[in-house]
Structure 1
Amino acid sequence: MDEGRADVAPVPLPLTPILGRDREVEAARALLTTQRLVTVVGAGGCGKTRLAIEIVGVVTDVVFVDMAPITEPEHVLPTIARALGLREAGAQPVSTTLLRHLLDRRVLLLLDNLEHLPDAAAGITDLLSRCPAVRVLATSRSPLRVPGEQVLQVDPLPVPDLRAPVGPDDLSTCPSVALFVARVGAVQPDFTLTAQNARAVAEICCALDGLPLAIELAAAQVRPLGLSEVLARTTEQFYTVQVPSRMAPDRHRSLANAVAWSVALLDDRAITLFRRLSVFAGGWTAHAAQQVCGEPGDDVLPALATLVEHSLVDAVHSATTVRYRMLETLRRYSAGMARDAGDQEVVRLRHADWCRSLGSRVSAMEGADETAALDAAEAELDNIRAALDNCGQTGISAGLRLAADLYYLWDIRGYLTEGREHLRRLLDRHDTASDPVAHWWALQSLGLLLLWQDEHGAARAALGAAAALAEEHGNAGGWAWCAGNVAISHFMLGDVDEVVPLAERGLEIARAVGETMPLRRATCGLGLVRWAQGRRDEAVELLEENARLNRTSVWGSGKSSYFLGWIAYLDHDLDGAGDRFRTGAAAFEKVGDHRSLPDCLDGSGCVAVARGEHPEALRHFARAAALRERAGSRRNAYLRSHCDPAEARARTALADTPSPGVTPREYEVARLIAEGFTNRRIGHRLGISERTAERHVENLRGKLGVHSRAQVAAWVSGTQSTPSRSAAGITDGDHRPPAMY
């Protein structure tokens, strides 16, 4: 795993050792040496996730993907892509980026909780068929039932034979007893297995059928209740607590009962919180729990701590925050409690309001809060998806506003297709007359997302409809905003002549309205049009005004700096261009905009080439290429016209000084990469193993300072080619603008 490894979803670190699963761990690891799809299958509560984490503990290049919050099979591959740190920054579907990324990489994907997504199996099979070095370890309550699947059945832990002697020595090797004793000992360190308590412990484990989750819930009660009371509560005659309706007959009855009496031991506030927390998808923070599940003047933190203490909620600590989550089995149980209690709809509406507050922060996008707002929304994306998917007919307008408010998240953080899907689905259900402002906001957000994926016809249609709606309802600023966006579309395709009157009128109206947002977009739109017309001085004046308007926006300042950087570069002002490109890159890095960041890096590369700093230039070009490869994007036509020859010039200048340490064998491998060979084909051609070929490729990447096979191929091409006389640099009088925004 190379560029972006820090963005890869890590395997959760277990807090406790696994007990009684040595045989299953050994069997699974053996299977993964020969099989590419292994599914760990077992009932809810039997410990599939914990077992899977243990299985991959000795494996490198593992990526963990939690599928529990995913509700639609078409989101499975994009979710895997996200776990690998991949983004979506252009027209290429993220699923294609995923397949290309994994084509020649050795990766083990741990796909957890797949049982509710049976239709996703085809996509997983397709991925495996196209990516020969990828393996999948899945967990599910049932097999995926696809060709090549190897099922590993996981049963509950073995329990004692109550017909035999049950002294401490007799029970010392029983896995279910060992788990119970270990978990009790974690909260009651003086607890040990003795002749006096051995029988009670054995009966508890038998009553719970050896189910690890049920045993852990029971063990959590020993300290407050005592062993004899816990034993009493695990007998069938105790269960007067009604099991909620969603605990279907085919669920393991012992687990249902264990959850039921664990909940029955809670006070009313903790019970209320437990059932309300089921509204969250993918986890929550204490602050979110307070907003969604609490009542005025009621602090939920003590109740939340009680749920953690009773093993009904997990606290997941990171360097700066604590997030909470429920095992999916427990979440389903608590959701049933919420339905039975009749407060599910009230909590859902609160949850939707909380999600809208996240969206409102994103839509503001001003100052120091920009990155924090995007980070907060992205951290809660599973919850946002749930809110958008579950808004009823009466909540369509609110859902539409949320989807539109999140425009900057969809764009900057690379969720272009998902944002479009939410907006289109909600627009189709929305009555324009009921909330024309929400409808306008959604249409223009949809238009922009279409624009960045090069669907200009559809983008202009959506922006045109938004402009018409704004005009109909007297929203002059909204009309000017849309006019500026249409101008940008024409600029991107180079057909600016017909849009000049619209861009000029947009700026005129924006100035009359005097609002910052329409002025930002109108000055940018007309500034780019003037640049494309060759009216440099007017373009500079408008884009500098745009930069002043963007001073309070980190992301907006980055955009302004990028355009002004190219003007400085074409004016031979290399110091000014370098400063502008660095400022833009820093802004995009800060907010996490990997669609715009590579363009600034390319600009910095061109500046370095013009200065004769060829190694520095190649570092910029290499990082830009690596980011684009992970986002499924490419240089636009303008950047290709300037950066391709500049990069070739830099490579040629360094070709006479071979990269240090590249061995003859590695150079052979590099040439085969340039010819399009996979690692497997390289191995066959050179008579080496695929793994050895893979090591050569990784060594080349490190020695050349590049991050992709395409860059290795470009290096080979550079060592073999002769540059043209104009290969690079700045062409006098060439003030054509870069076709991006």
Structure 2
Amino acid sequence: MSVRAAQSPPPRSAGAARLIGRERELLTLDARLADPSLRLLTLTGPAGVGKSRLAAAAAPATAGFTAAWSVDLAAVPGESLPETVRREAAALRLADDGKGRLLLCLDTCDGHGRALAKAIAEVLAGQPDLVVLATSRSPLGVSGERLLPVRPLPVPEIGAAAEEEPDELLRFPSVALFVRRAHDIDPAFALTAENAAVVAGICTLVEGLPLALELAARQLRLYSAETLLARLRRRGALLGGGPLDAPERHRSLAALAAWSRRGLPPDHHALLEQLAVFDGGFGLPMAERAAPAGGADTETALEVLLDRHLLTVTGKEEGEPRFAVPEPIRSSCLADLADTDRADAARDRHAEAYRRLLTAVEPRLTGSEQDHWLRTLTGEGANLLAALRRLHERGDTEGAAGLLLACRRPWLLSGRLHEGRDWCDRLGTDPSLPEPLRARLTDLAGRFASALGEPETAVRHHRLALEAARRLGDRRQAAAVSARLGAALLRLGDHTAAEAALAPAREALVSLGAAHPAAEATVELARVLRARGEHRKAAGLLEEGLAAHRRLRHSRGVADALRELAAAAEEAGDPAAADSALRESLRVADGLGERTELPGTLEHFALLLARTAAHQQPRVLRLLAAAEALRRALGSRPDEARRVALAETVATLRARLSPADFAAAWDEGRRLAPAGAVLEALAAPAPAIGAGADPAEPERQPLTPRQVQVAMLIAEGLTNRQIAARLKISEWTVVNHVREVMRRLGCTSRVQVAWSVGRWP
């Protein structure tokens, strides 16, 4: 037991100056201690978060105390606890001789329960001038107790660190603490552009726990930052090597985790091990599904684990809390489970829980409950992937295939495209699977490839799947695959083949009563007809497809149809209608948590905004940067025509904006979260209809650099094919450029374009 006494309390300790990221907590602590009505204040939080250091950094003199003592209860036996508290409180009173307020700091109050609470209540009742400052993982349960939660330090967002400059990352207290401690170990260590993402990854992996950050920094004596991060990912956050003068529980994260779990009932401990298997957190329903049979009541046990900071609340899911086992508790539990029968049982329960969930939910992924369940399953992406791996590892290939097929909608929605395609390819070539399953996996691989912007790969997979469906005599599957093949052929630019695949497929799906695939095929066929110049027929089909999706409450289909409606409206020279359709599509996608198609919608909106609102150039650039960041995260790419349009728009904005303004807008955009990017788009003003325009002479927009090239080549008398060869772009891209040139110049023929080039501004 250590005791610190002071007749005249010292100012804030020198250790306070070394506290990083605790400025707000220190201010709050001082303000609470200065409150004359305060009797008991407990600093709560997980082990290793720095409660003791924060308590030691308090300034008793500033808060009006005339004497302050500190007592560490970690080594006090339980039977001696009441007497120890009474003795120290009495000694503090004698030291001050009744001259003013007294502060008794009781450090490490964990695990003493009712006996400690009773002793504190007694000394507070007997000494009206006494204030107790306690540190504990959970509240002490004494009447009048006030709490000050101490949480881990903020960490950079996953995936965002690669975009941050070193100075910007140092704004995160977790990064600042790691860098400071690393510099203490190695004076040559500094945060640089080369190691910034790695350091941010370390801070994020240990979840900003100060003790873990300090132990990780000490490991830099042995490993580079890159090697350290790789070891943490491979072996879990169970670092050691703490200073010998530290309490034993602070010398390694394994010891800290063991200390945190000390005294936990066996059934609660078994549940904690099971919950550690979850990847990316879980909600109460999934915890109950996976809980070991015959164990503790799950809801009651969760409350106990939360009180002891063995669980954390990470957010909300449809209004209900979502939980996670924090580091290093999770790594410790997984290490205990490793190479035991309990590990296999826990992972099997987890996999079966998610297989049962998908089996129950899949029929509800269409209709009125679609949005709710898609959002729910999107949040379970990491757990679904872990369940898929487990089923495959234990040789249940058919079960893994069934789970993967059931994941198709949430994974296509959330952007798990590369993982989805790779798993489809891996399982779809397994000869032990029944052919119908292999055919469906091959088709699904094509859907993932199409979403990634790889139409050649998509066409190849869909053709193989179509052959299998016909061989198996599955008319509905053959029609659905044929429709998807047509959509992929359209993206390849083969309009004739696309129509040949889509038209009969749509008729077959309608006759078979396959409402959802038929609505999707209708919208795709409208795209083909618009591309072929049959605008009236395309408009009719598009209206029919959009109405069908709305009737079926198929939100993703509605968003897709609205994007096509915007493209058609823009082509018809109605930017207001295009803007309205894109805004609704963005709102639907945002409400659904859609990620795969969101970059394309943002790009379309930004390009439209660039043409209709010249004063919105910084916003256009922010949206384009946000879309590019999303595409990079997804690993997807736009088609050639869109890529060219994006490059030209960015080049134009670069020329019109100052270098500083361009860099600032681009940097702001790439930092936008998906929801923030949608809000940025929706905040843009809608195009004015007829404001300030002379119907006889509509306002004309300047041509982009590429459009200037096309216009000059038209003036030379070149055909679309010759222009495409000269500029090394597709003929279809030239067609789009020619249409836009005519629209901007107010021309109705190529002759007029040639004549206008000489006086075009």
Same fold (TM over 0.5): yes
Residue aligning to 2:445:
446
Residue 589 (structure 2) pairs with residue 588 (structure 1): yes
| Mapped contact 1:355–1:387 kept (Cα < 8 A) | yes
Question: How far off its partner does 1:732 sit?
Answer: 7.2
Match of 1:228 in 2: none
Please state if 1:496 is matched with 2:495: yes
Provide the C-alpha distance between the structure 2 equivalents of 1:530 and 1:566, rounded to a whole number of angstroms: 13
Q: 1:351 is matched with which residue?
A: 350
- Counterparts of 2:337 and 2:631 in 1: how far apart (Å)? 42
Give the aligned partner of residue 277 of structure 2.
279
- Identify the residue that residue 473 of structure 2 maps to in structure 1: 474
**Deviations 1:464-513 (CA, angstroms, capped at 9, x unpaired):** 22222322333222111111111111111211223433222212211221
SS at match of 1:593: coil
Contact 1:547 1:561 in 2 (8 A): yes
> Is the 1:598–1:627 Cα contact (8 Å) retained in structure 2?
yes
Of 306, 313, 317, 1:316 maps to 313
C-alpha contact 1:388 1:422 (8 A) present in aligned 2: no
Q: Which amino acid aligns with 1:18?
A: G
> Could you say if the C-alpha distance between residues 322 and 298 of structure 1 is closer, same or farther in structure 2, counting changes exceeding 3 Å?
same
Aligned residue for 1:535?
534
Q: What is the Cα-based RMSD across aligned positions, in Å?
A: 4.8
TM-score relative to the length of structure 1: 0.57
The corresponding residue for 2:298 is 300
Q: Deviations over 1:636-660 (max 9, x none)?
A: 34446767777888999xx6xxx8x
C-alpha contact (below 8 Å) 2:405/2:441 kept by paired residues: yes
Distance 1:132 1:276 in 2: 35
- Cα distance in 2, alignment partners of residues 215 and 651 from structure 1: 53
Among 633, 636, 641, the alignment partner of 2:639 is: 636
Alignment deviations for residues 48-75 of structure 1 (CA, whole Å, 9 cap, x no partner):
xx9xxx9995xx9x526xxxxxxxxxxx
Q: Structure 1 residue aligned with 2:199, among 121, 132, 136?
A: 136
Q: 1:426 to 1:363 in 2, by over 3 A?
A: farther
8 Å CA contact 1:446, 1:462 repeated in 2: yes
**Offset of 1:518 from its aligned partner?**
2.4
Is the contact between residue 703 and residue 741 of structure 2 (CA under 8 Å) also seen in structure 1? no
How far residue 564 of structure 1 moved from its aligned partner, in angstroms, is 1.3
Q: Note if 1:18 corresponds to 2:50.
A: yes
CA–CA separation in structure 2 for the residues paired with 1:156 and 1:640: 53
1:549 aligns with 2:642: no
- Determine the structure 2 residue equivalent to 1:254: none
Deviation at 1:349, TM superposition (A): 3.6
Q: Which residue of 1 aligns with 2:429?
A: 428
Structure 1: unaligned runs, 5 residues or longer: 1-9, 23-49, 65-79, 85-97, 112-127, 160-174, 177-204, 221-258, 660-666, 674-696, 710-717, 735-741
Q: Secondary structure at the match of 1:316?
A: strand
Cα distance in 1, alignment partners of residues 422 and 370 from structure 2: 24
Q: What is the rounded CA distance, in whole Å, between the counterparts of 2:479 and 2:743 in structure 1?
A: 38
Question: More displaced, 102-111 or 592-601?
Answer: 102-111
Q: Which structure 2 segments of 5+ residues have no match?
A: 1-20, 26-43, 55-136, 138-149, 176-190, 203-212, 230-238, 673-701, 712-739, 750-761
Kept in 2, the 8 Å contact 1:565–1:581? The answer is yes
User: 2:410 aligns to what?
Assistant: 409
Q: Secondary structure at the match of 1:550?
A: helix
State the 1:722 CA deviation: 12
The reply to whether residue 511 of structure 1 matches residue 504 of structure 2 is no
Separation (CA, whole Å) in 2 of partners of 1:399 and 1:364: 20
The question of whether the paired residues in 1 share the 8 Å contact of 2:398 and 2:433 is answered with no
Whether the 8 Å contact between 2:274 and 2:291 is mirrored in structure 1 is yes
Distance in 2 (alpha carbons) for counterparts of 1:722 and 1:338: 60
Quick one: distance in 2 between partners of 1:618 and 1:575? 21
Q: CA deviation at 1:627?
A: 1.9
| Distance in 2, Cα, partners of 1:631 & 1:488 | 21
**2:624 and 2:53 mapped to 1: Cα distance?**
46
* Structure 2 residue identity aligned to 1:577: A
Q: Distance in 2 between matches of 1:624 and 1:149?
A: 32
In the alignment, the residues of structure 1 paired with residue 499 and residue 489 of structure 2 have an alpha-carbon distance, to the nearest angstrom, of 9
Counterpart selection for 1:155 from 236, 241, 245: 241
**One-letter amino acid of the structure 1 residue matched with residue 50 of structure 2:** I
SS at match of 2:302: helix
Shift of 1:628: 1.9
Check the 8 A contact 1:646/1:728 in 2, yes or no: no
Q: Is the 8 A contact 2:622 2:669 kept in 1?
A: yes
2:622 matched to 1:622?
yes
How far the C-alpha of 1:515 sits from its partner, in A, is 1.0
Q: 1:598-613 maps to which residues of 2 (within 5 A)?
A: 598-605=599-606, 607-608=608-609, 611=612, 613=613
Partner of 2:186: none
C-alpha contact 2:452 2:637 (8 A) present in aligned 1: no
Give the secondary structure class of the aligned counterpart of 1:281: coil
Work out whether residues 460 and 486 of structure 1, in 8 Å CA contact, stay in contact via their aligned partners in 2.
yes
- Asked if 2 retains the 8 angstrom alpha-carbon contact of 1:283 and 1:323, the reply is yes
Opposite residue 403 of structure 2, the aligned amino acid is: L
Give the Cα–Cα distance (whole angstroms) in 1 for the partners of residues 622 and 526 of structure 2: 30
Q: Which amino acid aligns with 1:407?
A: R
DSSP 3-state at the match of 2:323 = strand
Bigger drift between 278-287 and 528-537 goes to 278-287
Once residues 482 and 704 of structure 2 are traced to their aligned partners in structure 1, the CA distance between those partners, rounded to angstroms, is 48
Q: Aligned to 1:318, what secondary structure does the other structure show? A: strand
Structure 2 residue matching 1:524: 3-state secondary structure: helix
Say whether the 8 Å CA contact 1:397–1:430 is kept in structure 2. Answer: no
| Deviation of 1:563 (Å) | 0.5
The offset of 1:432, in angstroms, is 3.2
| Larger-gyration structure (1/2) | 2
- Tell me if structure 2 keeps the 8 A contact 1:565–1:578: yes
The aligned residue for residue 558 of structure 1 is 559
Q: Deviations over 1:104-129 (max 9, x none)?
A: 98546979xxxxxxxxxxxxxxxx99
Once the two structures are superposed, residues 653-684 of structure 1 have per-residue CA deviations (whole angstroms, 9 ceiling, x without a partner) of xx6xxx8xxxxxxx4656xx8xxxxxxxxxxx
- Residues 424 and 446 in structure 1, CA contact (< 8 A), matched pair in contact too: yes
Equivalent position of 2:286 in the other structure:
288
1:733/1:493 CA distance change after superposition, 3 Å: farther
Check 1:732–1:565 CA distance in 2 against 1; reply closer, same or farther (3 A cut).
farther
Matches of 1:338 and 1:296 in 2, distance apart? 23
> Which runs of structure 2 are paired with 1:630-669 in the superposition (5 Å)?
630-632=630-632, 636-639=639-642, 667=658, 669=660
Partner SS state of residue 578, structure 1: helix
**Superposition TM-score, scaled by structure 2 size:** 0.56
C-alpha distance in 2 between matches for 1:307 and 1:413: 31
* Contact persistence 1:338–1:344 (CA under 8 A): yes
1:578–1:607: 8 Å Cα contact kept in structure 2?
yes
In structure 1, how many angstroms separate the alpha carbons of the residues matched to 2:288 and 2:406?
23
Give 1:401 shift.
2.2
Whole-Å separation in 1 of the counterparts to 2:346 and 2:197: 41
Please report how far the alpha carbon of residue 438 of structure 1 lies from its aligned counterpart in structure 2 after TM superposition. 3.3
Determine the structure 2 residue equivalent to 1:384. 384
CA offset at residue 343 of structure 1?
Answer: 5.8
Q: Which runs of structure 2 are paired with 1:139-218 in the superposition (5 Å)?
A: 155-156=241-242, 158=244, 175-176=246-247, 214=255
Change in 2 beyond 3 A, CA 1:105/1:513: farther
What amino acid does structure 2 have at the position aligned with 1:385? Answer: L
1:44 is matched with none
User: Helix, strand or coil for the counterpart of 2:405?
Assistant: helix
Comparing 325-334 and 447-456, the one that deviates more: 325-334
Aligned residues, how many? 504
Paired residue type of 2:548 = L
Q: Quick one: which of 152, 156, 161 aligns to 1:63?
A: 156
Asked if the contact 1:480/1:522 (under 8 Å) is kept, the reply is: no
